[in-house]
Amino acid sequence: MGGHGTNPALDPGDDKSNDLVLSCPCFRNEIGGEGERNISSAKQPGSIGSGGSSSSSSGSTEDGPLDATLTTNFTNAGVAVLEAAKDGPSQHADRSKRYIVEHVDLGTYYYRKFFYLREHWNYLGVDENLGPVAVSLRREKLDEHKEHGQQYNYRVIFRTSELNTLRGSILEDAVPSTSKHGLARGLPLKEVLEYLVPELNVHCLRLALNTPKVTEQLMKLDEQGLSFQRKVGVMYCMAGQSGEEEMYNNESAGPALEEFLHLLGERVRLKGFTKYRAQLDAKTDSTGTHSMYTTYKDYEIMFHVSSMLPYTPNNKQQLLRKRHIGNDIVTIVFQEPGALPFTPKNIRSHFQHVFVVDLTSDLARREQQQLVMLEQLREIQVTDSTSGAGDRTADPLKDEPLAPRRGRGQAERRETEALLQESTRSREELRTRAQEAVRQWRAKCRRLQKELEEAQAQSDEASQVGGGAAAP
């Protein structure tokens, strides 16, 4: 389930509830059967949270704003890289085979792949209309064409503080110029920039020093928006619980939660941990001694598990735990059998927007009972074997012959072993389903988290512009 709106009066929720979750204003519950949504960072009037009906062709207006979808107008950053570097595979093509919801601006690597450590020009300046600008330009020689002869290509990166970064390339022959094309010296850079970026006053530009410090700073500027580190909270909800304070006050984890954490990742020792720690203390154990950590493709994921964070006796709020989980956008709520349905109304936080509710099954308890029964039958079998090898003294309390009793015990043992095998198969099936569910919620968490971050960035940009004209 994920939060979208900010005003409960305008967004009452989706009215979807089941035994795990209850409907909540400003939240959407995914309880099975939902399809993927095409979204972007920009919202149009009538999108989720605006209170109106959606104008998107992929949405439905039968139920009003509850079925509205975000727009599909992607920014130019989404198509900033249309080719791959010659020395590496195409990340853009690889991503096209996966989810389309999560947006990662792969164009931020454009400078690193096509400019860094290669001959190029960097220009800095302050434009009267655009403010501070930074331009990178490179001319490269292409493979000789049989019909057109030698050709050249220009690559450009145009950065401003207000607009999205422009990245791309153009053949030299496509640039209008009074100079001759295809010569070794190239075209005047002023003409190239005036054609590619007509809004820019090229007279404000000054050539930057060709030093490693300049190129590294430009590379950091382009890549500062990338983040391949994620943190996820895990709250433990026992039978009869549904409130935030109740979950934070569960001092230790039960066997079911321990098994679930084993599916999520690796239990790591925090002291001396050198990878992504998500604000956990890796020096003095002030935030616990261990945590759960995993990697997914290029991402590092650290889990803030409530039962692994420090527990403070006689403290209902458990601030040492809420300090971390309460600041996580994505939170897993792990429910034991008998837990009450979850609702975000019970959570007091401005940051927790996505909740993944997981209910453990009673399979572990049944399996334990079957193991106990099997052990008892084995003891009976050993007792029968021992009594058969020694002196058989008549016992009035044992009227039943030994052979039928032994045969019944063996039959019961075979039946219990069959039940145990069935339980093992069920357990493996459950583990497979759980792993698939974990993979799916990880993908949904990343998509929803990126959606929230982009929506927030769009809102911040709109507040700064103050109603100014949109970028072309």
What is the per-residue pLDDT for 265? 93
To which residue do tokens 């039962």 refer?
307
* Domain 226-384+411-460 CATH (choose: 3.30.2320.30, 3.40.50.11210, 3.30.470.20, 3.40.50.300): 3.40.50.11210
**Three-class SS of residue 354?**
strand
Q: What is the pLDDT of residue 66?
A: 38
Question: What is the rounded distance in angstroms from the CA atom of residue 38 to the CA atom of residue 155?
Answer: 31
- In this structure, the strands spanning 27-28 and 152-160 are unpaired
In sequence order, what are the beta bridge partners of 135?
Answer: 123, 158
* HSE-CB of 124 using CA atoms within 13 angstroms: 7
Quick one: pLDDT at residue 388? 52
> Which helix (DSSP H) or strand (DSSP E) does residue 292 occupy?
strand 290-296
pLDDT at 229: 87
Classify 33 as helix, strand or coil: coil
What's the pLDDT at 241?
Answer: 92
Give me the CATH topology for the region 106-223: Arylsulfatase, C-terminal domain (3.30.1120)
The predicted pLDDT at position 392 comes to: 46
CA distance 247 to 171: 62
Domain ranges of the chain: 106-223, 226-384+411-460
Q: Which residue stretches of the chain have pLDDT < 70?
A: 1-9, 35-104, 361-369, 381-409, 463-472
Helix (H, G, I), strand (E, B) or coil at 454: helix
Contacts of residue 196, Cβ cutoff 8 Å, sequence gap at least 6: 154, 156, 158, 168, 170, 175
How far apart CA 278 and CA 262 sit, in angstroms, is 19
- Dist. CA 5–CA 16, nearest whole Å: 16
CB 266 within 8 A of CB 294: yes
Give the model confidence (pLDDT) of 215-271 as tens digits. Answer: 999 998 888 877 888 999 999 999 999 999 999 999 999 988 998 999 999 999 999
Taking the C-alpha atoms of residue 315 and residue 375, their distance in angstroms, rounded to an integer, is 43
